[in-house]
């Protein structure tokens, strides 16, 4: 029986072959890849405002196996996890950006109704990679996933600054600029009143 995929890992992003939002289809694909002797690595996250730290993290994650699958948080799930102003970049763009990274082989979507362990228990990766900066996955949860994974790897953050910190800095800079402009307007207004 031929593989359900035909050269999805060649040059190009191949969104139609490498983005697999349907969980049942993903399960069949992973089983086929495992039958070919491929070592499956899974990681999950938001990947908002993709930066060097994300790319390095994904490169390190890929080094643990043959196929790296990234479960990307949907816009709805990101709002729940990160707050109402996130994500900055909509999920379709985040998917496309990940598909352009050479270390990422397959991308799927984690919806808000999925439990954090649903994709893990369905894929049963040979290696599950977590970031130590992921605060909403306590050690207790990681321990429960061991029954579904051959190995669990926890990597330290790979970037100097997180996306959250970058957004915070932009917000602070924007607030400082606005405060300066408001102060200048008030001074002009008061000067106009004094001169009248």
Please tell me whether residues 90 and 149 are part of one structural domain. Answer: yes
Please tell me whether residues 112 and 168 are part of one structural domain. Answer: no
Domain tally, the chain: 2
CA distance 14 to 108: 14
Around 172, how many Cα atoms within 13 Å sit in the side-chain half-sphere? 6
Please tell me whether residues 37 and 134 are part of one structural domain. Answer: yes
> Which residues, listed in sequence order, are joined to residue 155 by a DSSP beta bridge?
131
Domain-embedded: residue 93: yes
Q: What is the pLDDT of residue 122?
A: 94
Percent helix, strand, coil in the chain (nearest 5)?
50, 15, 35
Please say whether the beta carbons of 69 and 106 come within 8 A.
yes
Please tell me whether residues 129 and 173 are part of one structural domain. Answer: no
Which range of residues forms the domain containing residue 35?
15-160
Q: Which two tokens stand for residue 26?
A: 């993903």
Please tell me whether residues 114 and 134 are part of one structural domain. Answer: yes
Please say whether the beta carbons of 46 and 164 come within 8 A.
no
Low-confidence ranges of the chain (pLDDT < 50): 1-2
Domain-embedded: residue 7: no
Q: What is the pLDDT of residue 115?
A: 79
Instruction: Encode pLDDT of 65-95 as tens digits.
Output: 999 999 999 999 999 988 998 999 999 999 9
* Residue 18: how many other CB atoms lie within 10 Å: 20
Q: Which two tokens stand for residue 154?
A: 């926890």
Domain-embedded: residue 10: no
CA distance 181 to 168: 20
Please say whether the beta carbons of 61 and 129 come within 8 A.
yes
> Which residues, listed in sequence order, are joined to residue 164 by a DSSP beta bridge?
none
Q: What is the pLDDT of residue 14?
A: 86
């Amino acid at each position: 029986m031929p593989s359900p995929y035909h050269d999805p890992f060649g040059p190009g992003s191949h969104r139609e072959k490498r983005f697999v939002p349907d969980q049942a289809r993903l399960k069949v694909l992973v089983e086929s890849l495992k039958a070919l002797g491929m070592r499956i690595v899974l990681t999950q996250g938001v990947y908002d405002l993709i930066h060097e730290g994300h790319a390095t993290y994904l490169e390190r994650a890929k080094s643990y196996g043959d196929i790296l699958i990234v479960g990307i948080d949907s816009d709805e799930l990101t709002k729940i996890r990160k707050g109402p102003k996130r994500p900055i970049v909509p999920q379709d763009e985040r998917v496309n950006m990940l598909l352009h990274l050479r270390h990422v082989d397959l991308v799927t979507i984690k919806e808000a109704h999925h439990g954090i362990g649903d994709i893990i228990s369905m894929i049963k990766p040979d290696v599950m990679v977590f970031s130590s900066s992921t605060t909403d996955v306590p050690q207790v949860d990681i321990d429960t996933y061991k029954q579904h994974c051959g190995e669990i790897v926890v990597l330290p953050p790979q970037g100097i600054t997180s996306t959250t910190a970058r957004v915070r800095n932009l917000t602070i800079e924007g607030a400082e600029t606005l405060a300066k402009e408001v102060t200048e307007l008030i001074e002009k207004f008061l000067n106009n009143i004094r001169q009248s």
